[in-house]
């Protein structure tokens, strides 16, 4: 669960983009993203306005660093049509140019910047840097991710390969609708196993067509990129185009369900051989990146098998010495977005850091690590071009834009404004960083988001925001559902503590939560809301608590221990009965680590004493419960159990059940209903 907030947006984007087919609905839709006169006059965020924001996807600088490609996805709320197209902007700022108008995704520069490759309408295309001369590449359709080699003469791409027999095929019954299951991992996060596997293919590429397609994982019932996110960053070319590094978890069934042991595999295009270069490390190994001269390979590595929130370390494989080093040893923060400097002597990376996500570099000769970026921002992704860094930047008050940083000084310039049509008219609330002392004397950081036009002489209701995870960062993210500014615009002061378990405060802080779900992190929440409730501008009789995933669990648990603090609660997709959840979830490494193992073990793992259902006798505060039918991480029955308990207890309660949603609510009209019901519930009990 800890990857929920980090990867939700990218997962949704992957599902939405790679086929890139223009639907009839999209052709007929009128994408009017302008604010109405009433919305401008209102001047604050609404659910309808949130769906007028254009969402930035890929960010891809040209080889000379002078131009940046990016994608924008737009939604039409009236009929839920969606379109994604490719745009460009000079790296020193200036006019944005739209390069595609019939769909376009995953842009990449080829032929030394003379051409752009991109995915559209289920195929691969090329075009000139100004968007002219679009040509469909022959013989390549039905793919998910792709990358053209540095020499422009080969391509790798991924597609699903059916290797398992369906019950219909086995029994010759084409109208049957059922499954025969004899092993674990039969479903994952939001989807059922479809009898196929994501494989890496290579082929020759001449700029106009693809030939000689070969499956380099032929016959293997394993996947790359790995489930459930299928992140294209898990595969990369060597600079000479003769090797492909890819991530795969070559485990099946029960072993796959209880292990996080992925490895980095190296495929040689000349010999057609594959070796495992991370063999021996038992945790996650992923996101390989070759050095500019191809002599080394860097990647993110976790040590402990079964612990998906373990420290993300920088590992480097030296091909000449056939050895692995750990240059970031002693750095106690996660490493991601690894990028080499042009001379190969420095690696840049991003890291969750003290409630933000900053860019750092490490000098490989000395091991010295320096912070490059600054400010109340999350920076990601990261690209290094000479003496500048091209990156995405977002905050609690701003969705992703493009920023250019000086690699030497860290000076930053935001060069895009893709949502100026909204931000020019909408007031955002101020955000404030605070540190307080917890009950056991620890320093607790929290972010306070105030309503627009906040007046300290007045009193406001407040919401305790409970983050998912339980690990992972609470940084400067901009969400299209759990949007802090939306909550503030509705007149609520938002209190968002970086309680124990959150990333960005060192391993001890992050690791403390495992096995202690109802312990110190819950006291952190109570300490945070008690501190803020003492402020004269907060009405302590109008406090609420809201959260999703582990945050939803937190709300369920707080419902039994808050001793009257909260007058309204909202739990989205939370765990309610840990025993029944253990038997219905899929990534079993997670409860094995964080709860302590199966409930039938003797002695019974201590983590089960923190199951919220054990404290229902103390539930009194009105609670709204939200769930998606296709959530397999925390199956919807958990929310049904909680709602039934609340109803039988006579606690005011409401259930929002979305038939076609998952762990996330992503359909525009469903999401608007979600927001409207969210605030209707809170306003009923807190205003």
Point out the catalytic residue in the list 549, 554, 571, 653: 549
d(CA 76, CA 80): 5
Q: Can you tell me which residue has the tokens 């999703």? A: 548
**Whether residue 120 lies in the annotated active site:** no
Q: Which pairing describes strands 356-363 and 369-371: parallel, antiparallel, or unpaired?
A: antiparallel
Question: Is 549 a residue of the active site?
Answer: yes
Q: Decide if 411 contacts 405 (C-beta within 8 A).
A: yes
Cα gap 168→28, rounded to integer Å: 38
Find the catalytic residue in 199, 286, 572, 663.
663
Is-cis flag, bond preceding 603, omega within 30? yes
Sheet holding 123-127, edge to edge: 105-110, 115-120, 123-127, 135-141
Which one, of 593, 351, 567, lies nearest residue 462 by Cα? Answer: 567
Q: Is 171 a catalytic residue?
A: no
Tokens 């503590």 belong to which residue?
497
How many CB atoms neighbour CB 674 within 10 A? 18
Alpha-carbon distance 389 to 387, whole Å? 7
Contact (Cβ atoms closer than 8 angstroms) between residue 605 and residue 642:
no
Please give the biggest Cα pair distance in the chain.
74
Give how far Cα 300 sits from Cα of 278, 327, 331, Å.
11, 12, 13
Sign (positive/negative) of CA torsion 653, 658, 664, 669?
Answer: negative
H or E element in which residue 621 lies: none
Residue of 395, 516, 631, 653 with catalytic role? 631
The sign of the CA dihedral 669, 670, 671, 672 is: positive
The answer to whether 394 and 428 have CB atoms below 8 angstroms apart is: no
Q: Is the dihedral of CA 335, 338, 340, 344 positive or negative?
A: positive
Q: Count Cα atoms within 13 angstroms, Cβ side, for 468.
A: 21
Cis amide bond preceding 228, omega within 30 = yes
Catalytic residue annotation:
549, 631, 663
């Amino acid at each position: 669960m800890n990857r929920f907030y980090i990867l939700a947006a990218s997962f949704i984007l992957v599902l939405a983009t790679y086929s890139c087919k223009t639907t009839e609905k999209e052709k007929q839709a009128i994408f009017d993203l302008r604010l109405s006169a009433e919305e401008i006059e209102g001047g604050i965020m609404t659910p309808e306005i949130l769906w007028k924001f254009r969402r930035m996807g890929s960010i891809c600088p040209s080889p000379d660093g002078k131009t940046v490609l990016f994608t924008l996805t737009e939604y039409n709320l009236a009929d839920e049509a969606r379109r994604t197209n490719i745009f460009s902007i000079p790296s020193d700022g200036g006019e944005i140019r739209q390069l595609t108008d019939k769909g376009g995704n995953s842009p990449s520069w080829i032929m030394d910047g003379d051409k752009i490759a991109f995915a559209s309408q289920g195929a691969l295309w090329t075009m000139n840097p100004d968007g002219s001369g679009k040509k469909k590449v022959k013989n390549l359709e039905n793919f998910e991710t792709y990358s053209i080699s540095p020499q422009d003469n080969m391509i790798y791409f991924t597609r699903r390969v059916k290797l398992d027999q369906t019950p219909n095929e086995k029994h010759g019954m084409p109208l049957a609708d059922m499954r025969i299951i004899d092993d674990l991992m039969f479903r994952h996060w939001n989807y059922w196993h479809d009898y196929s596997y994501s494989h890496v293919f290579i082929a020759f590429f001449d700029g106009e067509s693809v030939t000689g397609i070969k499956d380099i994982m032929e016959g293997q019932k394993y996947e790359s990129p790995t489930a459930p996110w299928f992140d294209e960053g898990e595969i990369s070319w060597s600079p000479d185009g003769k090797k492909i590094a890819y991530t795969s978890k070559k485990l099946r069934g029960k072993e796959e369900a209880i292990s996080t042991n992925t490895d980095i595999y190296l495929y040689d295009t000349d010999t057609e051989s594959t070796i495992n270069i991370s063999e021996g490390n038992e945790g996650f190994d992923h996101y390989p990146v070759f050095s500019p001269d191809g002599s080394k390979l860097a990647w993110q590595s976790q040590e402990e098998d079964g612990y998906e929130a373990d420290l993300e370390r920088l590992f480097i494989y030296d091909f000449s010495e056939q050895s692995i080093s750990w240059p970031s040893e002693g750095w106690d923060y996660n490493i991601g977005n690894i990028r080499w400097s042009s001379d190969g002597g420095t690696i840049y990376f991003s890291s969750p850091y003290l409630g933000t996500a900053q860019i750092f570099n490490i000098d490989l000769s000395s091991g010295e690590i320096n912070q490059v970026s600054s400010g109340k921002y999350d920076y990601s992704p990261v690209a290094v071009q000479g003496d500048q860094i091209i990156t995405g930047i977002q905050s609690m008050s701003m969705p992703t834009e493009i920023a250019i940083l000086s690699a030497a000084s860290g000076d930053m310039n935001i060069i895009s404004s893709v949502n100026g049509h909204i931000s020019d008219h909408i007031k955002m609330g101020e955000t404030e960083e605070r540190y307080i002392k917890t009950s056991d004397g620890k320093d607790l950081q929290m972010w306070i988001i105030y309503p627009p036009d906040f007046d300290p002489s007045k009193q406001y209701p407040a919401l305790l925001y409970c983050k998912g995870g339980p690990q992972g960062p609470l940084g400067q993210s901009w969400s299209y559902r759990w949007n802090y500014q939306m909550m503030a615009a509705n007149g609520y002061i938002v209190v968002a503590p970086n309680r124990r378990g959150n990333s960005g405060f060192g391993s001890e802080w992050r690791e403390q939560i495992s096995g202690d779900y109802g312990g110190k992190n819950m006291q952190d929440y109570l300490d945070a809301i008690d501190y803020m409730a003492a402020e004269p501008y907060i009405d302590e009789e109008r406090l609420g608590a809201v959260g999703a995933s582990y945050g939803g669990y937190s709300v369920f648990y707080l419902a039994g221990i808050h001793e009257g603090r909260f007058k309204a609660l909202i739990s989205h997709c939370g765990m309610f009965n840990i025993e029944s959840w253990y038997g219905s979830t899929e990534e079993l490494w997670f409860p094995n680590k964080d709860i302590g193992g199966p409930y039938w073990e003797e002695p019974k793992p201590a983590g089960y004493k923190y199951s919220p259902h054990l404290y229902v006798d103390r539930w009194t505060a009105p609670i709204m419960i939200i769930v998606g039918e296709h959530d397999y991480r925390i199956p919807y029955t958990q929310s049904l159990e909680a709602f039934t308990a609340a109803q039988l207890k006579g606690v005011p309660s409401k259930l929002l059940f979305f038939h076609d949603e998952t762990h996330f609510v992503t359909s525009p009209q469903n999401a608007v209903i979600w927001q409207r019901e969210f605030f209707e519930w809170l306003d009923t009990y807190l205003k």
